[in-house]
Amino acid sequence: MAYLNANIPPIYCKIRREYLYDLEEHKGESGDCVIFGFTSISGRALLFNIMLPNGACYWRLPISAFFQKEFERKDVPDMSVDELELWNSFSYHPAVTCFDWLDGINGKYLGRDKKFYHGKYLFTIDWAHPDVNILDTEHSEIPQEHKCAHIMALKNGNYAAQPNNRIIWHVNSYTTDNDWPDYKVQTTYWDAEDGDWVTEDSDRMFYNIEEKNDDR
Q: What is the pLDDT of residues 72-107, one digit of tens each?
A: 999 999 999 999 999 999 999 999 999 999 999 999
pLDDT over 90 (residue 178): no
Mean pLDDT for 114-125 is 97
Q: What angle do CA 2, 79, 60 make, to 5 degrees?
A: 30
Inter-CA distances, 61 with 25, 27, 87, Å: 16, 16, 15
**The predicted structure's pLDDT at residue 92:** 93
Mean pLDDT computed over 4-19: 98
What backbone torsions phi and psi does residue 6 show, to the nearest 5 degrees?
Answer: -145, 150
191 or 63, greater pLDDT? 63
Do residues 9 and 37 lie in contact, with contact meaning Cβ atoms separated by under 8 Å? no
DSSP state letter for 143:
T
Residue 201's pLDDT band, with cuts at 50, 70 and 90, is confident
pLDDT in tens, 127-176: 988 776 676 666 767 766 788 999 999 999 999 999 999 999 999 889 98
Q: Look at residue 138 in the predicted model and tell me its pLDDT.
A: 67
The pLDDT of residue 136 = 67
Residue 140, pLDDT score: 66
**Residue 84: its H or E element:** helix 81-84
pLDDT of residue 189: 84
The yes-or-no verdict on residue 216 having pLDDT over 60 is: no
pLDDT of 137 reads: 64
Residue 45: the pLDDT is: 97
pLDDT digits (tens, 9 = 90+) for 35-61: 999 999 999 999 999 999 999 999 999
197 pLDDT more than 90: no
Band (pLDDT 50/70/90 cuts) for residue 191 is confident
Q: How far apart are CA 7 and CA 212, in angstroms?
A: 47
pTM across the whole model: 0.91
Between CA 82 and CA 87 the distance in angstroms is: 8
